[in-house]
Structure 1
Amino acid sequence: MLLSLLFCASLASAEDEFPNRAVYPDVPVIETEDLYRNLDKHVVVDVRSRYEYDTLHIRGAGNIPLNSSDFIEQVRTLASSHPGKTIAFYCNGKTCRKSYKAARRARKYHIDNVVAYDAGIFDWARAHPDQAVLLGQSPVPAGRLISTADFKKHLLDPDAFLEKAREPGAIVLDIRDIRQREGISLLPPGREERVPLDNEKLRKYVEQAQAEGRPLLIYDAVGKQVRWLQYFLEQAGLNNYWFMKGGIRSYLAELQSDYR
Structure 2
Amino acid sequence: MNSMNHHWSRHAWLLLVAAVLLGGTAWADDEMPGRSRYPTVKPVELAQLQAMRPNVIIVDARSHYEYETLHIKGAVNVPLGEQGFVEGVKALRAESSHPIVFYCNGRTCMKSYQAALEAQNSGIVNVYAYDAGIFDWVKAYPDDSVLLGRTPVDPARLLGKDKLQAHTLKPAEFEKRIDDNALILDVRDKFQQEAITLFPMRQHSVPLDNKALQKYVDQARQEGKTLLIYDEAGHQVRWLQYYLESEKVASYYFLAGGAKGYFDLMMGDIVGQNSRQ
Q: Which amino acid aligns with 2:180?
A: P
Indicate the larger mover: 65-74 or 167-176: 65-74
Q: Which residue of 1 aligns with 2:140?
A: 127
Q: Give TM-score scaled by structure 1 length.
A: 0.91
Shift of residue 187, structure 1, vs aligned partner: 1.5
Residue aligned with 2:43, SS: coil
* Cα-to-partner distance string for 1:89-147 (whole Å, 9 max, x where unaligned): 01111111111011111111221201001111111111111001000100012411111
Residue aligned with 1:22, SS: helix
Q: 2 CA distance for matches of 1:243 and 1:250?
A: 12
Q: Which amino acid aligns with 1:60?
A: G
Q: Which residue of 1 aligns with 2:108?
A: 95
Q: 2 CA distance for matches of 1:79 and 1:146?
A: 35
Q: Which residue of 1 aligns with 2:149?
A: 136
Q: 1 CA distance for matches of 2:32 and 2:244?
A: 31
Q: Which residue of 1 aligns with 2:263?
A: 252
Find out whether 1:75 has 2:86 as its counterpart.
no
Q: 1 CA distance for matches of 2:215 and 2:193?
A: 22
1:138-157 to 2 correspondence within 5 Å? Answer: 138-157=151-170
Q: 1 CA distance for matches of 2:26 and 2:153?
A: 33
Match of 1:207 among 193, 204, 218: 218
CA contact (8 A) 2:26 2:45 kept: no
Shift of residue 13, structure 1, vs aligned partner: 6.1
Q: Which amino acid aligns with 1:257?
A: G
Q: Which residue of 2 aligns with 1:168?
A: 180
Q: 1:185 to 1:118 in 2, by over 3 A?
A: same
Runs of 4+ in 1 over 2 A off after TM superposition: none
Residue aligned with 1:88, SS: strand
Find out whether 1:198 has 2:212 as its counterpart.
no
Q: 1 CA distance for matches of 2:162 and 2:119?
A: 36
Q: 2 CA distance for matches of 1:183 and 1:113?
A: 40
Q: Which residue of 1 aligns with 2:172?
A: 159
Indicate the larger mover: 117-126 or 178-187: 178-187
Q: Which amino acid aligns with 1:128?
A: Y
Match of 1:230 among 232, 237, 241: 241
Q: 2 CA distance for matches of 1:131 and 1:15?
A: 27
| Alignment gaps of 5+ in structure 1 | 1-10
CA contact (8 A) 2:34 2:108 kept: yes
Shift of residue 182, structure 1, vs aligned partner: 4.3
Shift of residue 163, structure 1, vs aligned partner: 1.4
Shift of residue 178, structure 1, vs aligned partner: 2.1
Match of 2:130 among 117, 121, 130: 117
Q: Give TM-score scaled by structure 2 length.
A: 0.85
Aligned identity (percent) is 47
Find out whether 1:47 has 2:61 as its counterpart.
yes
Indicate the larger mover: 179-188 or 228-237: 179-188
Q: 1:123 to 1:12 in 2, by over 3 A?
A: closer
Q: 1 CA distance for matches of 2:143 and 2:33?
A: 28
Q: 2 CA distance for matches of 1:117 and 1:225?
A: 21
Q: Aligned-pair RMSD on alpha carbons?
A: 1.5
Shift of residue 154, structure 1, vs aligned partner: 0.5
Q: Which residue of 1 aligns with 2:189?
A: 177
| Alignment gaps of 5+ in structure 2 | 1-24, 272-277
Shift of residue 208, structure 1, vs aligned partner: 1.5
Query: In the comparison of the two structures, how many residue pairs are matched?
Result: 247
* Cα-to-partner distance string for 1:57-94 (whole Å, 9 max, x where unaligned): 100001111123222222122112112x1100011111
* Cα-to-partner distance string for 1:7-56 (whole Å, 9 max, x where unaligned): xxxx8961221122211111100011110111122110011111111111
Q: 2 CA distance for matches of 1:183 and 1:71?
A: 25
